[in-house]
Chain A
């Protein structure tokens, strides 16, 4: 149900413009704009990490006097956020951590939204036994404790950041799938869908052309929640020691700090910043979600 204002623009817009508009970014909600701005900031940091970070995040650094640059406080010897117990630059790790966080967040969210949307569309539109089977699968997915599942999965596979993505794709489509299904159930009986059907459109075409565009904002909403979930999950997994030791992530930094007695050393500069970054990215997702809710369900008026 795109608004009239969107439709009235001159000429036939290109596919890219059209799909961008179909996402209906909530630009009139201050919270949502704030969330989008945070996303933009982290995306830029991830892209230009090589330029922003003063050191290699894995490099063991030495002071000019050839001492190990370990456990330096912020500002000492020119290290903005200090160094870790092994002499690595906290600020550089934080900057490079943005990359793995966004990579995991976006791919996992994409998988969750994609699988959930397909399940919801097929289940809701076709109904019958397909619907029964898919919804029982969703019930089963709801019975699987997610974090323990990721831990067991990570233990059997090679340590990799993709384990989190795989586990999310296997389990977390359940919420998106159910919500999209119920949306499709109401769309299915609309007049324009009936019209398309009697004029001989195939099921595939009806789903793709007439129903999918209308559930796209909902998929995007669940996708932006999933970004946060993915980043939190990756952080938890890395913290528990099942992450990829080769890639620097915020969860890895926290695990490193915890194992190196940063709490007893009161090294707040080491474990506070990664936590703040995680909170910023995850809550940005929440704020964007709120903006979407105002567009999708204006009656809620939250």
Chain B
């Protein structure tokens, strides 16, 4: 019952945050300097197109009325027409979403697998020389600009050694029968490797440091002492008893990391010409393609907000001591 109440209050909060972000976006794009119509209408559209967009978004009506029309359109997934591609923004964004998600999840899974193992190892090696070197090193990876790391990896592995292609998702001119065929081709993997590695090196710090400090906390708990008294081997105590319990908060941080990663994607996708949401946002803003920019921003915000919610709920579910009063 308590958990149901928590879930409902979280959902209401989600609705509030979504509404606020959508409203902020509306105000930003309508109050910008210049022609208020510019948010949806490009001067080069044909008169018929202009008229139909005027009607669809109520651009000749007062601002408050436009606001309600905008909300109504959003609820139906209607985001307008892209200026550059002359196609609905929603279609364009949904087509790019898989690329971004594949990059995000590949890099995060690598980062978490490495971070959890290395974090547990460093907790075990507490106070050793390994720790003295490793912790500052990990902090340094958190201080790197992600795009710079991408540039360095590109310069070494792509331009110097020639092991990986310099950008994109497929060789020039290559055609695939379906998206599935593209994503499962070995070419795709060679294109994915460097951007995913860049993001993974940046992201491993969070799970690593979390896992390490959780392990240190758990190792002090009574049940671990108990396991030691029972005479269980060091390995069994560390892995079967301590690590399992230390793992829970790290797993909930995964959802938060997805949200942060989407923001980091913006720069890394640009470095590697990866056709994803982040690069599209940058290009759309540079080219003043406002409907597309607005749509890409909304999509990223939506994933961030959803991931925050999932992290909250997971946290409450996995650790019943946490209550949301």
Contacts and interface: CB of A to CB of B under 8 A. Distances in A.
Do the two shown chains form a genuine complex with each other? yes
B308 interface: yes
Interface string A260-302: 0011101010011011001100110111000000000000101
Contact of A145 (B18, B146, B262): B262
Nearest to A263: B155
**In terms of DSSP, what is the predominant structure of the interface of chain A?**
helix
A126 interface: no
Interface stretch (A7-15, A182-190, A201-209, A232-240): A232-240
**In terms of DSSP, what is the predominant structure of the interface of chain B?**
helix
Contact of A275 (B18, B148, B281, B301): B148
Nearest to B217: A300
Given A143-B18, A236-B147, A266-B160, A148 B213 contact: no
B291 to A, nearest CB: 13
Contact of A263 (B151, B213, B259, B262): B151
A52 to B, nearest CB: 23
A145 B267 CA distance: 13
A263 B21 CA distance: 38
A136 interface: yes
Interface in A135-162: 136, 139-140, 142-149, 151-153, 155-156
B159 A283 contact: no
A148 B297 contact: yes
A145 B159 contact: no
A240 B145 contact: no
Interface residues of B, number: 52
A146 B143 contact: no
A213 interface: no
Interface in A194-215: none
Nearest to B263: A147
30 contacts: A31-B136, A140-B21, A143-B18, A143-B305, A145-B259, A145-B300, A145-B301, A147-B263, A148-B278, A148-B301, A156-B32, A236-B267, A240-B282, A242-B285, A254-B145, A262-B155, A263-B151, A263-B158, A266-B155, A266-B160, A271-B151, A271-B152, A272-B152, A275-B145, A279-B143, A283-B139, A283-B143, A286-B142, A286-B143, A287-B139
Interface of B: 13, 16-18, 20-21, 24, 28, 32-33, 136, 139-140, 142-149, 151-152, 154-155, 158-160, 166, 213, 259, 262-264, 266-267, 270-271, 278, 281-282, 285-286, 288, 293, 296-297, 300-301, 304-305, 308
Given A143-B21, A145-B262, 7 more contacts: A140-B17, A236-B147, A262-B155, A268-B155, A271-B155, A279-B143, A286-B139
Closest A-B pairs by Cβ, 9 of them: A282-B143, A283-B143, A275-B148, A143-B17, A140-B20, A263-B155, A147-B263, A155-B285, A156-B32
